[in-house]
Amino acid sequence: MPIFNKLKRIYSARGGISLIASGLHRGKSLNNSLQMLSIFHLKLAFWLATVLGVGYFVYIKRDQLAFECREIKTRIGKLFGRRIALNDSFAEDVESGFHSQNFDIRSENGEDSRSGLDNAAKAEIRRIMNNENLTFDKARLRYTERQFGKNLIAPDGTPLDPKAVTFSK
């Protein structure tokens, strides 16, 4: 038994690993104590990698997560009779489904006093959504491309007027 006390003093004096020394003192082998220490490090590395991975995922998806959180907050508020903190016309537009992550009315129009979205455009976009079974973003794109066509503009934004002059590099 004196050799175990001597090893314990040597490890402690050198700032060594007290887990190994105490394991030896209790009659465990040096190999078993090292295995316990390596298992601890593996678990620590696993949990550190997990936390870093989740943090990276949240960082990459922060805009989408923020939008989803606002959506959930709005739905819960509607359950309890709360209105969206916008003027009445924008609130009606949001409740009617005229918003998306790419067209977020709530984030930029909190203090806006305008009358909301154009009623004729909303009706046309709603018709496109229902007839062609499209999402709000795709219906808005289809509506915009049609408006471009009416004004002699190609879907990519270049003018179709033969007298138009464009410059390129």
Q: How many domains does the chain have?
A: 3
Cα 139 from Cα 128, distance rounded (Å): 6
What domain range is 10 assigned to?
Answer: 2-49
Could you tell me the pTM of the whole model? 0.48
**pLDDT value of residue 97:** 72
Among the three residues 116, 134, 155, which one is the final residue of a domain in this structure? 116
pLDDT at 43 over 70: yes
Residue 17 lies in a domain: yes
CB 21 within 8 A of CB 8: yes
Cα 54 from Cα 49, distance rounded (Å): 9
Kindly state the average pLDDT of the residues 146-166: 83
Proportion of the chain in helix, strand, coil states, percent, rounded to 5: 65, 0, 35
**pLDDT value of residue 48:** 92
Residue 29 lies in a domain: yes
Residue 27 lies in a domain: yes
Query: Is residue 100 located within the same domain as residue 133?
Result: no
CB 19 within 8 A of CB 36: yes
Residue 56 lies in a domain: no
Residue 151 lies in a domain: yes
CB 21 within 8 A of CB 11: yes
Query: Is residue 109 located within the same domain as residue 127?
Result: no
Query: Is residue 112 located within the same domain as residue 126?
Result: no
Query: Is residue 39 located within the same domain as residue 75?
Result: no
Query: Is residue 69 located within the same domain as residue 26?
Result: no
Tokens at 82, concatenated: 């709360």
23 CB neighbour count, 10 Å cutoff: 21
Query: Is residue 100 located within the same domain as residue 71?
Result: yes
DSSP-assigned beta bridge partners for residue 109: none
Residue 162 lies in a domain: yes
Residue 54 lies in a domain: no
Q: What percent of the chain has pLDDT over 70?
A: 64
91 CB neighbour count, 10 Å cutoff: 18
Query: Is residue 123 located within the same domain as residue 146?
Result: yes
**pLDDT value of residue 49:** 93
pLDDT at 132 over 70: yes
Kindly state the average pLDDT of the residues 42-59: 91
Question: CA–CA distance from 155 to each of 103, 135, 149 (Å)?
Answer: 19, 19, 7
Q: What is the pLDDT of residues 51-86, one digit of tens each?
A: 999 999 989 988 888 878 877 877 787 777 766 666
